[in-house]
Amino acid sequence: MWKADRYATHAPFVPLLGVPVLELLNPQPGERILDVGCGDAVLSDKIREAGASVVGIDSSPDMVEAAKRLGVDARLADAADLKFEAEFDAAFSNAALHWMNRDPDAVLKGVRRALRPGGRFVGEFGGHGNVAAVTVALLAVLSKHGINDPSALNPWYFPAPAEYRAKLERAGFDVESIELFPRPTILPTDMHGWLETFAEPFFQALPSSDRAGALHDVIGLPKPALCDAEGRWTVDYVRLRFVARAK
């Protein structure tokens, strides 16, 4: 699914808007830091620039190759099956944890194992209500096209703060802060590019002959609310940001 060139074109805002989370991490020289869902490693590279060593993991071969081209130690891995044992001072994740919907508890337990006692985990990802208007449009259009349970195709996990706090605590973390906040995001291209970049799993259940029409219908539904008179799209992002520490 993930293609580094397409991501760079349609989603350059992801690392740009992740800079405040990186500042919250505050990487220090000599620290060893795990980047969970590093993508093309734009932020991993900034961790290195701060003097820390970083290991990035991602499930996309194309993203891992893009990260390696930056010189980052990037590894192809399933975040729900991490093999590290108490070797990192901190873990970081930006705009990735909401893709790890299959077993978010296993992800958190793996990150906890990877950290030394007292190690911090700083992250931000989609929270409850994230891209709600687009999600409603996707589910409505898929239902119209004969998909009986379109919600089963949803690849995203957008928890509320209380839910995610409980998961972090069960995984062995003390939660220092966790907040949910709206972050309306102007798209650098358009909704077509956003859907092709982020919503491809929704369309996989449709015959190839139906996908263009479904894509057109999805774009049309939220357009009155999300697209201005100049054709500029602003998507209803809601983010969940947290700082936790390994017990």
CATH classification of the domain holding 74: 3.40.50.150
Query: Is 20 within a domain?
Result: yes
The whole-number pLDDT of residue 11 equals: 66
* Average pLDDT of the residues in 225-234: 97
- Tally of structural domains, the chain: 1
The pLDDT of residue 14: 78
Place of tokens 């873990």: 91
Which whole number is the average pLDDT over 89-102? 96
139 belongs to a structural domain: no
Nearest Cα neighbor of 231 from 222, 223, 239 is 223
Q: What is the pLDDT of residue 4?
A: 63
- The yes-or-no verdict on residue 6 having pLDDT over 90 is no
In a domain? residue 216: no
Q: Is 208 buried (19+), middle (13-18) or exposed (0-12) by CB count in 10 A? A: exposed
C-beta of residue 91 within 8 angstroms of C-beta of residue 122: yes
In a domain? residue 145: no
Q: How confident is the model at residue 166 (pLDDT cuts 50, 70, 90)?
A: very high
User: What pLDDT is attached to residue 10?
Assistant: 64
pLDDT range class, residue 3, cuts 50, 70, 90: low
How confident is the model over 166-174, as a mean pLDDT? 98
Tell me if 201 is assigned to some domain. Answer: no
pTM for the model: 0.94
Kindly report, residue by residue over 56-89, the tens digit of the pLDDT: 999 999 999 999 999 999 999 999 999 999 999 9
Specify if 215 maps to a domain: no
User: Tell me, what's the pLDDT at 231?
Assistant: 96
Q: Does 105 fall in a domain? A: yes
> Is pLDDT larger for residue 49 or for residue 9?
49
The pLDDT mean for the chain works out to 94
pLDDT value, residue 18: 86
Share of the chain above pLDDT 90, in %: 91
- For residue 212, name the pLDDT band (cuts at 50, 70, 90): very high
Alpha-carbon separation of residue 110 from 36, 121, 125, 202 (angstroms) = 10, 12, 18, 28
Residues 6+ apart with CB under 8 A from 213: none
Segments forming the whole domain that contains residue 182: 4-130+155-187+234-246
pLDDT at 26: 97
**pLDDT band with cut points at 50, 70 and 90 for residue 12:** confident
Residue 229 inside a domain? The answer is no
All residues at 6 or more sequence positions from 69 whose CB lies less than 8 Å from its CB, including other chains: none
